[in-house]
Structure 1
Amino acid sequence: MEIRQLEAFVAVAEELHFGRAAARLHLAQSPLSQTIRKLERDLGVTLFDRSTRSVALTPAGAALLPHAHRVFEELELGRQATRAVSGEVYGTVTIGFSGALNHRTLPPLTRAVRRRYPQVTLDLVAGVLTGDGVVQIERGALDLAFVALPLDPSPRLRSRLIAREPLGVALPTDHPRAGDESVDLGELADDDFITIPAASGSGLRETAMRACIVAGFRPRVVQEITDPFMILTLVAAGVGVSLVSDGVAQIMPSGSVFVPLAGPPTYLDHAIAWAADNPSPVLRAVLAVADEVMPTPS
């Protein structure tokens, strides 16, 4: 089995079309078909069901595909390792982040990495909340994710605190407490709340819910939405109020205000998380940069 055969197989398996796969590989369709037929003869199996209208993986083809992907992943890691020996850092790191909640923490890291390692590509995936980020790291879909602490214990997962932000409340500008310097959370017990869905595994939601319970009430949730900035937009529209970290005070949309909570602060703990067994030297380089630009707060 040759690398070029595996390249041809993966292209057809992902495109499910010989013409598109040939164009992707900069080949004519006939040599590509011959390469696939030779691979099938060598393996003694049929990898694709072909018809005049469609191409589909056979069970044998579906079984081969993840192993073919791993071959190319290992080749890429090998290239990265050889460049690392000469002092050059090269490759891709996939980073998940939630959006508005990371507007203070993501940019310093991405700017520093691009300045330090111009050969590193950062693949940024937006809309990744804590629960989803952990799952994607453990599946290998993400190398690094911005998450909220605490995380459920996992032998594969590593995390490090990078910032602590006190909770406050986002209020519509016509709310009776919108002009106050601070607000006691218990005074909002009768308000309608907008939150991130419970099923999303959001650290912000869990922290906010605990704060409300400590304040003596369970919030009446009237709207759930996964995008933190859209939550602020709904607050501005007068749908309800929402507990958020003070990092969003700088990006409040028109029609809304951020008011700190009175009393001892409740913190949202921001962290980065990664898989302990991820062998990527590029990830290690990015983590080292993160140590410099986002040190663990005292």
Structure 2
Amino acid sequence: MLELWRLSYFVAVAEEENVGRAAARLGVSQSPLSQRIRELEAGLGLALFHRERRRLRLTAEGWRFLDQARALLAHAAGVEQQAKAAGRGEGGRLSLGFVEGAVHAGVLGRALRRFRHERPGVGIELRAMRSGDQVQALREGALDVAHVYTPPAESAGLRIALVAEEPYRLAIPADHRLAADTHLVEARLDGEAFIALPERGNPQARAEWIAACRASGFAPDVRIEAVEPTTILGLVAAGVGLAMVQESLAGAAPAGVVMRPLPTFPLRMRVFAVVSESASAAARAYFELTRT
């Protein structure tokens, strides 16, 4: 395999048409340079130069090889610059996982806007994923930064930051008996049909939600599970059941949905950013932007 330094030696000699001038340009001795060029020709099985008394002229094969050598050196230089840029967090790609709550809370959009302004050379891949799947992908190196509802219980090797927090609102079908109750008492929700996030995707979050409901004086009857908050609101509008959604979604509720505050409900919607301690410079930079 040809070493890049051999190609650079050849290009210098070809451009200078003189070993002495090429040696001075490269900062090497003339005799070893001549030997390296002869070794290159022997390895290729080609005569690259016509040797005259004071001048070296390229053969036809030498001219073709010069074009290829220049292209290879230029490509190698480009690869090196890209690698250095990635090392500084200025290039490469960033894979971001997120839950929908991160979008509605604004944390994803704010961080992305600032990151794109500061590091425009970094490509972004967005992946909507459940919290548990994000953490697994992060540990496997398939994801650079995660935005999750529930931080991982095992945090060794990870950096975790709370980046969004807001209260829940109760979404009620407009024709429901509780829709006219402007001062809702949570105890009146006991036994009502609810739409909730799937327990299988995040059993810890479901357990915390059930505990918070009971602390407020009611036990929800979960009839349907759905993932996306916008889908949940559509089901509420269809009269399927009640649901709790983050406060920032109140203004996006469709017709047929009434939103009510939950004064004593202790649980809040939280989004955490998670990144590996060994993450790339770009990933670490993005993580810091989610915190401000």
Cross-structure match for 2:146 = 145
Cross-structure match for 1:136 = 137
> Is the alpha carbon distance of 1:206 and 1:142 closer, same or farther for their aligned partners in structure 2, counting shifts above 3 Å?
farther
After TM superposition, list the pairs within 5 Å mapping 1:118-267 onto structure 2.
118-126=120-128, 128-201=129-202, 205-263=206-264, 265-267=266-268
> Is the alpha carbon distance of 1:215 and 1:263 closer, same or farther for their aligned partners in structure 2, counting shifts above 3 Å?
closer
Cross-structure match for 1:289 = 289
Kept after mapping to 2: 8 A contact 1:132/1:201: no
Cross-structure match for 2:115 = 113
Return the TM-score normalized by structure 2: 0.66
Identity rate, percent? 33
Kept after mapping to 1: 8 A contact 2:138/2:276: yes
Kept after mapping to 1: 8 A contact 2:216/2:266: no
Kept after mapping to 2: 8 A contact 1:168/1:243: yes
Q: Show structure 2 runs of 5+ residues with no match.
A: 3-78
> Is the alpha carbon distance of 1:225 and 1:193 closer, same or farther for their aligned partners in structure 2, counting shifts above 3 Å?
same
Cross-structure match for 2:56 = none
> Is the alpha carbon distance of 1:185 and 1:276 closer, same or farther for their aligned partners in structure 2, counting shifts above 3 Å?
farther
Q: Deviations over 1:192-241 (max 9, x none)?
A: 01111111017754442221121244321110122222111111110001
Kept after mapping to 1: 8 A contact 2:275/2:287: no
SS in 1 for 2:230: helix
Kept after mapping to 2: 8 A contact 1:148/1:203: no
Q: CA–CA distance in 1 between the matches of 2:221 and 2:125?
A: 38
> Is the alpha carbon distance of 1:102 and 1:78 closer, same or farther for their aligned partners in structure 2, counting shifts above 3 Å?
farther
Equivalent residues, number: 216
Cross-structure match for 1:82 = 84
Q: Deviations over 1:157-212 (max 9, x none)?
A: 32101121112211111222324444232211121011111110177544422211
* Deviation of 1:122 (Å): 1.3
State which structure, 1 or 2, has the greater radius of gyration over its C-alpha atoms.
Answer: 2
Kept after mapping to 1: 8 A contact 2:216/2:264: no
> Is the alpha carbon distance of 1:187 and 1:125 closer, same or farther for their aligned partners in structure 2, counting shifts above 3 Å?
same
Kept after mapping to 2: 8 A contact 1:196/1:202: no
Cross-structure match for 2:36 = none
Judge which range, 195-204 or 129-138, deviates more.
195-204
> Aligned partner of 2:116: which letter?
R
* Deviation of 1:81 (Å): 5.3
> Aligned partner of 1:231: which letter?
I
